[in-house]
Structure 1
Amino acid sequence: MVMELPDNRLWNVEETAYFLGVPVKTLYQWKWTGEGPPVRKVGRHLRYNPARVRAWVDSDEAAA
């Protein structure tokens, strides 16, 4: 399955997990431990800025 990932809005957990190739549960674990790409809560939902996720992937933090 190929998912279209829009850049004109924040990504939800499923879209971010798809982009990174990790399970959704991993994103929640990273949030809990303070690891992973920058995330913000909007209401009770986690949202990711696509540009910041891509920057995180390109950074040394993602390689650790």
Structure 2
Amino acid sequence: MPSDPRDTLRSGLPDRYLTPEDLVVMFSLPSVETVYQWRRKRVGPTGFRVGKHVRYDPTAVARWVAEQTALTDAA
């Protein structure tokens, strides 16, 4: 059974690319549709396609979180 992506991100970057479902769990989002809306609106972490699947580089997700935190702290 795969580990919870929130645990791996807290202890360091996961050794695999993240799925939209991982982002739902990590950020306690209502559904995977939220991740797809972010992607369409270009407001969430940058993802990339592998065939028909969308994946997220954990480094890009961590960078996006840092940017969001900086924006919140600046407000």
Q: Under a length normalisation based on structure 2, what TM-score does the superposition of the two structures give?
A: 0.69
Confirm or deny that 1:4 pairs with 2:12: no
Distance 1:20 1:59, change over 3 A: same
Q: Under a length normalisation based on structure 1, what TM-score does the superposition of the two structures give?
A: 0.78
Provide the alpha-carbon RMSD of the alignment.
2.2
Count of residues in correspondence between the two structures? 62
Gaps of 5+ in 2: 9-13
Q: Deviations over 1:18-48 (max 9, x none)?
A: 1122121111011111111111011011101
Identity, % of aligned positions: 31
* Contact 1:38 1:48 (C-alpha < 8 Å) held by counterparts: yes
Gaps of 5+ in 1: none
Distance in 1 between residues matched to 2:32 and 2:61, nearest whole Å: 15
Greater helix proportion: 2
